Chains A and B, each alone.
Chain A
Amino acid sequence: MPKVDTFQDLILTLQQFWAAKGCVLMQPYDMEVGAGTFHPATFLRAIGPERWSAAYVQPCRRPTDGRYGENPNRYQYYYQFQVVMKPNPENFQELYLESLIHLGIDPAVHDIRFVEDNWESPTLGAWGLGWEVWMDGMEISQFTYFQQVAGLECFPVMGEITYGLERLSLYLQGVEDFQQLVWSDNGQGQPVSYADIFHQYEVEMSAFNFDLADIDGLFQQFDYFEAEANRFLSAGLPLPAYEYVMKASHCFNLLDARSAISVTERQRFILRVRTLARGVGASYFETRRAAGFPLAADSDRAFVLKGLIDAS
């Protein structure tokens, strides 16, 4: 059993564990996203019949969750560890529980439960069924079977596990507050804490999100990113288009934190992002089909292609 004393031990251990289960170890996407699901390794790979398994850390930004570093477990910038497997293995839940045991969590001691929590992302045109995983009452992971992404049916089904790394660490390290988490400890008496790395960032970014982000500029950026995404879609390039969808989505989140979007407008903005996301999904599916769905199992590829013929 590995030693999981620090935040970085946790990341390393999860990476080792899921790599051994056949996942491609990816790196964080280098753009602002609200959840690991936005990473193309999840969002785009959930589309079409191709097999795919990956694991990666993804820093997430949720501007409205900022509490100036004062709430013990709510931050506007935090880390998720994302695992996706498509098709989901039959024993996906058991693999997850095994990963917890691997981290040193004893299921005979801790109350670990799968509590219904169906996931829906209106901006991504996506939904799935699954659970929050609770440990002693705290949500430590999300577990989802994707049913639809970008308005397209998911077949085979991608299973997604999202670990909330900070919350899990609170348990593993037995502390109460994110700030107290030990990020690394080289054993020479100079541990580096989460607060050492992020406290100033939380304070400043909360001020930025709530008070300083330029509303007019963000509205203009949103329009620009939307127009550019559409331009790339017209050029048949879903991947650059998707990057601009992510940028537009982050603008929207910032505007939301600035309370610049009224309830009615909110729906319209969500619809605008969803329309883009659907466009990206359709375009990505088409480019993969044109490439012959190279990663798909033969039977899955045949099934999906036959469905296309029957539908036309």
Chain B
Amino acid sequence: MRHETLLLEIGTEELPPKSLLALKTAFAENLKKALDARQFNYSDVAAFATPRRLAVIVTACEDVQPEQLIQRKGPKLSAAFDSDGQPTKALNGFLKSCGITDPNLLEQEETEKGAWVLYRSTQAGATLSSEIQGMLIEATATLPIAKRMRWQRYRTEFVRPVRWLVALYGKDILDCQFHGRTAGAITYGHRAMSGGDPITLSHADQYEAKLEAGFVIADFEKRQALINEQLNAAASARSAIAADDPGLLEEVTALTEWPHVLSGDFDPKFLAVPEEALISAMREHQRYFHLRDAAGELQPSFLTVANLDSLQPEQVIAGNERVIRPRLADAQFFYNKDLQKPLEDALGQLNQVVFQNELGSFGDKARRISALAGIIAKSLGTNEAEAARAGLLAKTDLVSLMVGEFPELQGIMGSYYAKAQGESSVIADSILGHYLPRFSGDELPSSMTACAVAIADRIDTLVGLFGIGQPPTGSKDPFALRRQSLAVVRICIEAPIDLDLMALLQASARLHTAECETAPVMAYILDRFENLLTERGAKWDSIRAIRARPSGIHNLWTALQDIKSLDRFRETDASALVITAQKRVQNIIDKAEPSATGTINPAHFNVPVEAQLINCITSIEAVRTESIDIRLANVADSAETIDSYFKEVMVMDENLAIRENRLNTLSHLNQVLTDIAAFNLLQ
């Protein structure tokens, strides 16, 4: 048995940078699974990836599987030997199939159904070289490839054309093939810097070092750290700070084999364009990192990550400076053109842009958002007209040239354009803020007006899509309704805003031309509410107890206060009595026949606690419109009476009148309790 390094490298044409990390990880994980399934032991698995290769190194890998135990079941013992003790035809057949002749090599297995003939043997384990082909297929079959392709006249598909294959075990080449390539010991270095000549590996352990000599850093993380270091150094050299952009860093790492950070300048006149647009132009088009000075001001310069250590870096810099100029000129052109377009014209253009076939244009949507935002503002006591105006303008930048070019600037540009045309800063900020929160953990809109628009936009989408029968399913949520609901929940409970969501959903439904039912939307939002609170450590059953009140939840903010109060109540001694009692009450009511009258007649009381309980019910009812804390305090005060009632009173009395009277009492108690919370749902 040997313990050597196993190296697999698939050489390709340039791989898609945004999936390179996922490909790297999946290739290594899949190979690991294939080794484990075959019981090849090893000490460690390391994954490598550059634009032109995916590789895995397995250290101290065994080259032979453990001996395999083979166990074969033969005929029933009774059918194995004839009356003379001679092997039957059946047994001879079995012996032959096992490749033996001597019946003494057989064993017996006793089971409940009788004894059976058994043959046990061992077989030498398979070798790495015989298994490598199968493992390579398994390791590559399920890679996360968005679009597979064909090339030349091959019929097979892979992420990009395969150009070479390395399969080494120590010094030995393992025999395998991949997309028409036969494994060898030859890899290739950097296209330009190593001259494209083949690099021969005489041992798998040489992989990283030989590639590095060929100007390729095969280790993704090492390359990423190197770029980060160079970015910071280049920024410091200009007394500036480089953009902290992990997504971009990952992408440039996936685009380079021998990274080299260079810095260039652009004409400061472009700084008149909103910085978000400049940053988008640099990032999206050129993969540049922008720079800021210590005060946070954007600098007229950039960092780019070249894929070579150029003989004349000034030429690479000059080239990049030449490219960014027209890009920024375009941004400036878009900005100036957009500024000239009156917002009213943009509103008109929105009528031409489809939001959703059955739900009309973005113009229609803007008018609905406006109406809803007004309603919300009114109920929050903030400026109604301003919210309605902000809602109307919220989508106007969708028809701007800048957002057409850089969709990620939606909201941001609208805010600039509104401000430039004399809209109030609250309106401008709301156009920007109504997209918040964009993701879990993102910030919330900053003003009540922005919150109103943010909620109006999302409620309109939710009610509309549910209304036309397109609620999200487990796998399909093209309008991101899940995220939009979560945004509504977060704004309601974190901003916070005191809003009757149910009434708002109904108002939204009336604004749609389609028939929209609101109950499923409310239920969907409440499910998100429940999940979010549970994730944050709230007691699941407290939420359910509040949600299960006959009046349900209409207002997330007050519901959250109720849940918190209920949680506090649950820490009191009285709560256990109340919870147990209401469970009993619910049980009895569920089993009993529905009462004919429903009235309670004190004439039928014959135990003192019965009247006391009525007093409790009355006092709980008396504070019905008070805060939940006061109501719960009354419940707590009644806890002992309720508990005594069950100890002293036999509800299912033989006397029908008494029994009904008691059932009516409990039914009434149940009503006043569940009006506060469904205590019976608490654990």
Which residues 280-326 in B have Cβ within 8 Å of A in the complex?
286, 304, 306-308, 310-312, 315-320, 322-326
Among A86-112, those with CB < 8 Å from B are: 87-90, 93-94, 97, 106-112
CB < 8 Å neighbour of A137 from B18, B149, B323: B323
For A157, give its contact among B151, B255, B316 (CB under 8 Å): B151
Are A116 and B352 in touch, CB under 8 angstroms?
no
B43 within 8 A of A: no
Q: Is B152 an interface residue (CB 8 A)?
A: yes
Q: Is the CB of B324 within 8 A of A137?
A: yes
Q: Are A90 and B152 in contact (CB under 8 A)?
A: yes
Q: How far is the CB of B530 from chain A (nearest CB, A)?
A: 38
The stretch from A128-136, A220-228, A237-245 touching chain B is A128-136
Mask for A112-126, Cβ within 8 A of B = 1, else 0? 111110100000000
B411-428 vs A, Cβ < 8 Å mask (1 yes, 0 no):
000000000000000000
Q: Is B354 an interface residue (CB 8 A)?
A: yes
Q: Which residues of B contact A157 (CB under 8 A)?
A: 150-153
The verdict on B532 contacting chain A, using a C-beta distance below 8 Å, is no
CB–CB B307/A111 < 8 A: yes
Rounded to whole angstroms, the CA-CA distance of A154 and B157 in the bound complex is 13
Of A73, A88, A109, most B-chain CB atoms within 10 Å: A109
> Does the CB pair A145–B330 fall under 8 Å?
no
CB distance from B189 to the nearest CB of A (A): 13
Question: Quick check: is A300 within 8 A (CB to CB) of the other chain?
Answer: yes
- C-alpha spacing A136/B15, complex, angstroms: 20
**A63 interface residue (CB < 8 Å to B):** no
Q: List A contacts of B192 (CB < 8 A).
A: 107-108, 112
- A71 pairs with B326, CB closer than 8 A: yes
A-B pairs under 8 A by CB, number: 115
Q: Name the one of B149, B153, B319 contacting A110, with C-beta atoms under 8 angstroms.
A: B319
Q: Which residues of B contact A41 (CB under 8 A)?
A: none
Contact A93:B13 (CB < 8 A) given known A74-B330, A109-B315, A157-B152: yes
CB 8 Å contact bits of A153-168 with B (1 = contact, 0 = none): 0111101000000000
Closest Cβ neighbor of A159 among chain B residues: B151
Question: B319 near A137 (CB under 8 angstroms)?
Answer: yes
Q: What chain B residues lie within 8 Å of A169 (beta carbons)?
A: none
Q: Is B46 an interface residue (CB 8 A)?
A: no
A88 touching B322 by the CB < 8 A rule? no
Contact call B191/A97, Cβ cutoff below 8 A? yes
In angstroms, Cα B55 to Cα A76, docked, is 45
Q: B319 contacts A300, CB within 8 Å?
A: no
A116 to B255, CA, bound (A): 9
A212 to B95, CA, bound (A): 94
A136 contact set on B, CB distance < 8 A: 306, 315-320, 322-323
| Least Cβ–Cβ distance between A172 and chain B, in angstroms | 12
User: Does B472 lie at the interface of the complex (its beta carbon under 8 Å from any beta carbon of A)?
Assistant: no
Minimum distance in angstroms from A259 CB to a CB of chain B? 9
A171 surroundings in chain B (CB, below 8 A): 319
Q: Is B17 an interface residue (CB 8 A)?
A: yes
Note all chain B residues with C-beta closer than 8 A to A190: none
State the Cβ distance, B325 to closest chain A Cβ, in Å. Answer: 7
* Residue among A67, A107, A129 with max Cβ neighbours from chain B (10 Å): A129
Q: Given the interface contacts A107-B192, A157-B153, does A114 sit within 8 Å of B311 by beta carbon?
A: no
User: Chain B interface: which size bin?
Assistant: 35 or more
Interface size on A, residues (CB 8 A): 45
Closest to B286 in A: A137
Known: A87-B152, A107-B191, A111-B306. A138 touches B322 (CB 8 A): yes
For B199, what are the chain A residues with a Cβ–Cβ distance below 8 Å?
Answer: none
In the assembled complex, how far is the CB of residue B307 from the closest CB belonging to chain A, in whole angstroms? 5
**Known pairs A115-B255, A131-B14; A72 contacts B326 (CB<8 A):** yes
Known contacts A116-B16, A131-B14, A135-B319, A176 near B149 by CB under 8 Å: no
Contact B13 A114 (CB under 8 A): yes
Contact residue among B14, B147, B304 (Cβ-Cβ distance under 8 Å from A114): B14
Residues of B253-279 whose CB lies within 8 A of A: 255
Query: Are A176 and B311 in contact, CB atoms less than 8 angstroms apart?
Result: no
What chain A residues lie within 8 Å of B312 (beta carbons)?
A: 109
Q: Which residues of B (318-371) have their CB < 8 Å from a CB of A?
A: 318-320, 322-326, 329-330, 333, 352-354
Asked if residues A111 and B333 are in contact (CB atoms below 8 Å), the reply is no
Scan residues 256-275 of chain A and give those whose CB is less than 8 A from a CB of chain B: 262-264
CB distance from A98 to the nearest CB of B (A): 10
Q: Is B196 an interface residue (CB 8 A)?
A: yes
Which A residues lie within 8 Å of B76 (CB)? none
* Cβ-defined contact, A108 with B193, below 8 A: yes
Neighbouring A residues of B163 by C-beta, 8 Å = 90
- Cβ of B160 < 8 Å from any Cβ of A? yes
Q: Let me know if B161 is at the binding interface, CB within 8 A.
A: yes
A147 within 8 A of B: yes
Question: How far, in whole Å, are A89 and B152 apart by their CA atoms in the complex?
Answer: 7
Q: Distance (Å) between the CB of A126 and the closest chain B CB?
A: 14
> A255: CB under 8 A from chain B?
no
Q: Is A170 an interface residue (CB 8 A)?
A: yes
Would you give 19 A-B contacts (Cβ < 8 Å), ordered by A?
A67-B333, A71-B329, A73-B326, A74-B326, A74-B330, A89-B152, A90-B163, A108-B193, A110-B310, A114-B14, A115-B14, A116-B15, A136-B319, A136-B323, A138-B322, A147-B150, A156-B152, A262-B352, A263-B353
What 18 new A-B contacts, CB under 8 Å, besides A108-B192, A136-B320, A137-B286? A71-B329, A73-B326, A93-B13, A111-B306, A114-B51, A115-B255, A116-B14, A116-B15, A136-B306, A137-B319, A137-B323, A137-B324, A154-B150, A155-B155, A157-B150, A176-B322, A176-B325, A262-B352
Listed in ascending order, the chain B residues whose CB lies under 8 Å from chain A are 13-18, 51, 147, 149-153, 155, 160-161, 163, 191-193, 196, 255, 286, 304, 306-308, 310-312, 315-320, 322-326, 329-330, 333, 352-354
Closest 6 CB pairs of A and B: A136-B319, A107-B192, A114-B14, A137-B320, A111-B306, A156-B153
